[in-house]
């Protein structure tokens, strides 16, 4: 797959949102340790060019993107993409990976909110086109986040990332083969969620463990 693309650029956004409540939870220590171990063994990271900007919508970021003239832009884990940024591309050239089902959960921590609500049927990874609102664009494809009795809570984000890779590989394969990309309008606009408070993550964890105990 990589050989079909001359250059792969990653823009890392350093801007962090501030909240008037605690969002950091102790389970993140285990999650970061596990993910760091996986990433340290990743060969693909050595093949990309990394650029760091405070905000992807900034003048410098946009100037850089204009310079490299990308065929496709894939966003993941960034803030709202603004109109000035979107105007650089055709609507079908900029897509987003969303950890969750945007028809029910938009915004931040969608998977954790789904677990908080015991909504296990909406544990998805979604690839969709970007428009001027949070997670409301046409959906290209979805994948369930697999859970079983051996799944650990701190590994869920990793499985979501694996889904992201699968969705993108399938999407890029179609582009390379010049196949039609089929998408569909969201049936409804899901509720927008902010970051989940740390004290509510305890409930998400409890609901998760009760659920996987029932699985085969």
Q: What is d(CA 128, CA 10) in angstroms, rounded to the nearest whole number?
A: 19
**In the chain, what are the domain boundaries?**
2-15+24-213
Cα four-point dihedral sign 52, 58, 63, 69: positive
Given a contact cutoff of 8 angstroms between Cβ atoms, the answer to whether 158 and 34 are in contact is yes
Q: What is d(CA 95, CA 109) in angstroms, rounded to the nearest whole number?
A: 19
b/e code 152-165 from CB counts within 10 Å (16+ = b): ebbbbbebbbebbe
pLDDT of residue 188: 94
Across residues 154-183, what is the average pLDDT?
A: 94
pLDDT of residue 93: 84
Question: In the chain, what percentage of residues exceed pLDDT 70?
Answer: 93
Q: Band the pLDDT of 5: cuts 50, 70, 90.
A: low
Q: What is d(CA 81, CA 125) in angstroms, rounded to the nearest whole number?
A: 19
Architecture, CATH, for domain 2-15+24-213: 3-Layer(aba) Sandwich (3.40)
Least confident of 53-62, 91-100, 180-189: 91-100
Question: In the chain, what percentage of residues exceed pLDDT 90?
Answer: 73
Q: Band the pLDDT of 43: cuts 50, 70, 90.
A: low
List strand residue ranges (DSSP E) for 23-165, in order. Answer: 49-53, 73-76, 94-99, 105-107, 124-129, 139-144
Per-residue model confidence as pLDDT tens digits over 182-207: 999 999 999 999 999 999 999 999 99
Pairing of strands 73-76, 124-129: unpaired
Q: Which two tokens stand for residue 105?
A: 């959960």
pLDDT of residue 19: 95
Q: Band the pLDDT of 132: cuts 50, 70, 90.
A: confident
């Amino acid at each position: 797959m990589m050989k079909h693309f001359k250059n792969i650029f990653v823009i890392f956004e350093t801007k962090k949102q501030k909240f008037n409540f605690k969002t950091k939870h102790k389970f993140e220590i285990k999650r970061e340790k596990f993910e760091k171990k996986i990433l340290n063994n990743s060969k693909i990271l050595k093949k990309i060019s990394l650029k760091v900007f405070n905000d992807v919508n900034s003048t410098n970021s946009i100037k850089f993107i204009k310079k490299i003239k990308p065929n496709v832009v894939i966003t993941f884990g960034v803030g709202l993409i603004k109109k000035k940024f979107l105007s650089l591309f055709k609507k079908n050239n900029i897509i987003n990976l969303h950890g969750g089902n945007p028809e029910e959960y938009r915004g931040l921590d969608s998977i954790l909110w789904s677990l908080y609500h015991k909504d296990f049927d909406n544990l998805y990874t979604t690839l969709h086109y970007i428009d001027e609102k949070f997670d409301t664009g046409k959906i290209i494809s979805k994948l369930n986040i697999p859970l079983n009795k051996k799944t650990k809570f701190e590994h869920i984000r990793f499985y979501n990332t694996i889904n992201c890779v699968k969705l993108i590989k399938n999407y890029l394969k179609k582009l390379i083969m010049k196949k039609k990309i089929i998408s569909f309008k969201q049936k409804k606009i899901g509720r927008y969620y902010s970051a989940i408070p740390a004290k509510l993550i305890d409930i998400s964890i409890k609901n998760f463990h009760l659920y996987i105990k029932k699985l085969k």
